[in-house]
Amino acid sequence: MKLLVTGGAGFIGSNFIRYMYQKYPDYLIINLDSLSYAGNLENLRDIVEQDQKKDKRYTFVKGDIADSKLVNTIVEQGVDGIVNFAAESHVDRSIDNSRIFIETNILGAQVLLDAGLRHNVSRFIQISTDEVYGSLGPTGLFSETTPLAPNSPYSASKAGADLLTRSYFETFGLSTIITRCSNNYGPYQFPEKLIPLFITNALEDTQLPLYGDGLNVRDWIFVEDHCTAIDKVLHHGRPGEVYNIGGNCEKTNKEITMTLLQQLDKPQSLINYVKDRPGHDRRYAIDCSKLCTELGWSQQYDFQQGMQRTVTWYLENKPWWQRIKTGEYLDFYKRWYEER
Ligand code: NAD
Ligand code: DAU
């Protein structure tokens, strides 16, 4: 199988490429990534080194998914499946400026869908998010039939791509599938997201900016479990369907923070309650029974195991995140933080 994976230099995309490359020794993988602030070729250095020595079945192409000419040049050479991870992925940045979110998340998806259709790609997986469903009250779960009600420019752009993906199935018969996963954590996550930001800040003895009352709830899943779910969907999912992916692990942000401080042996005085995120969704929780019963997926990591692996990885890979935090990201973070 020849796969075009977009956004493969980011957090989940790089974990997915590593997983697929190792699991399927005969698969060819093309990674198309524009190397935005969140894209980092270091994330796949081990795979590149392994591939250069032996296999020669991994190719990196630097480019924009919204570049129709480039995308068509890649896909016309023969691609069996497209897995679209490429996106602007951070809610706070979308509040700061939503333009690039529309360009990449919606227009980029349109270019990929068109290329998939034109060149008879047999599988198109749109990696979406549970945030398209909006926010839950204290009870209930998101199912695949929950109406879309996105609240941030980020989630609105992802919902736009979902609807476009659906339309390419209904109108043209392109074999599309949408996955909607909850909050991921694990190695190589860019330190702007809650867990890696708080781990790395705590290791540097700087403050942990907890939004609002710290009681917003997310459903956490270890990134490798997300990858195994996408693998199932890619090979066995039904065209035209949506599959929710979740970790069955609801935690408040405060609980996450306390767990991290305890694991790192750092004081609670590092916590700084700051102004809330505008439009902050209160609670996400996923019903992924369709994926489990129909495709036989189950998660391998509970929260304790996943967090142990994650914290250990950040402890062992300080140069990786320190290089990021001293760069462009720091300026953005400082500005955002100072505004609170
Ligand atoms: P990320 O920000 O770490 O990585 C995004 C990658 O996309 C980067 O490598 C970046 O360079 C690349 N990219 C951005 N714009 C591009 C463009 N125009 N053309 C080509 N490449 C481009 O994001 P992530 O957390 O790994 O998320 C990956 C996907 O999974 C996204 O679509 C996101 O919406 C979705 N998702 C994320 C989570 C989560 O918890 N992180 C949960 C559910 C779904
Ligand atoms: O649910 C899936 C989504 O999860 C993905 O689609 C997004 O790409 C991904 O970024 C993530 O979105 P969230 O907004 O939930 O993730 P984030 O890590 O930004 O925030 C998690 C929670 O922590 C949220 O309630 C806001 C809070 N938070 C976040 C940051 C960065 C803080 O309290 N302080 C912070 O500094």
Pocket-forming residues, ligand 2, beta carbon under 6 Å = 89-91, 129-131, 182-183, 193-194, 197, 209-211, 216, 218, 253, 277, 284
Report how far residue 178's alpha carbon sits from residue 170's, in angstroms, rounded to the nearest whole number. Answer: 13
Per the structure, the complete domain to which residue 152 belongs is given by 2-338
105 close to 145: Cβ distance less than 8 angstroms: no
- How far apart (Å, rounded) are the C-alpha atoms in residues 58 and 340? 43
Give the pLDDT confidence of 244-280 residue by residue, as tens digits: 999 999 999 999 999 999 999 999 999 999 999 999 9
* Cα 44 to averaged position of ligand 2 atoms, centre (Å): 24
pLDDT on residue 63: 98
pLDDT digits (tens, 9 = 90+) for 40-52: 999 999 999 999 9
- Rounded Cα–Cα distance for residues 75 and 32 (Å): 11
pLDDT at residue 329 tops 90: no
Report whether pLDDT(177) > 80.
Answer: yes
Convert the pLDDT of each residue in 79-101 to its tens digit. Answer: 999 999 999 999 999 999 999 99
pLDDT value for 54: 86
Q: Are 184 and 129 in contact (CB under 8 A)?
A: no
Q: Mean per-residue pLDDT for 161-166?
A: 98
Length of the chain: 340
Report the CATH number that the domain containing residue 128 is assigned in CATH: 3.40.50.720
Q: How far apart are CA 307 and CA 193, in angstroms?
A: 15
Q: Residue 335: pLDDT above 80?
A: no
Angle at 85 between CA 174 and CA 162, to 5 degrees: 50
**Could you report the per-residue pLDDT of 282-304, keeping only the tens digit for each?**
999 999 999 999 999 999 999 99
Kindly state the average pLDDT of the residues 18-24: 98
Q: CB-based contacts of 237: which residues, under 8 Å, 6+ apart?
A: 125, 177, 243, 295
- Coil, strand, or helix at residue 324? helix
Question: How many domains in the chain?
Answer: 1
Question: pTM for this one?
Answer: 0.97
Binding pocket residue ranges, ligand 1, CB within 6 Å: 6-7, 9-13, 33-36, 38-39, 64-66, 85-89, 104, 108, 127, 129, 158, 181, 183-184, 190
Q: Which residues are catalytic?
A: 130-131, 154
Q: What is the largest CA-CA distance in the chain?
A: 57
Residue 183 has pLDDT above 70, yes or no: yes
